[in-house]
Amino acid sequence: MHTEFELMRKGPGVFTYQTVGMHGTLDGAKLAAGVDWDWDWAGGAGHGGWHADNNVVFWLITERQVPDNDEERIEMAIATGFGYGAIDGDHHKMWVIDQMIRVLAGERYEQFVEEYREGGEYAWDEGVAP
Structural domain of 75: 70-119
16-40 pLDDT, tens digit per residue, is 788 889 999 999 999 999 888 889 8
91 and 43 in a single domain? The answer is no
Number of domains in the chain: 2
81-112 pLDDT, tens digit per residue, is 999 889 898 888 998 999 999 899 988 988 98
Would residue 127 count as lying in a domain?
no
Considering only CA atoms, which of 32, 22, 106 is closest in space to residue 63?
22
What is the Cα–Cα distance from 8 to 16, expressed in whole angstroms?
A: 9
Would residue 104 count as lying in a domain?
yes
Would residue 130 count as lying in a domain?
no
91 and 74 in a single domain? The answer is yes
pTM: 0.68
62 and 74 in a single domain? The answer is no
Would residue 84 count as lying in a domain?
yes
Would residue 21 count as lying in a domain?
yes
Would residue 91 count as lying in a domain?
yes
Would residue 39 count as lying in a domain?
yes
25 and 37 in a single domain? The answer is yes
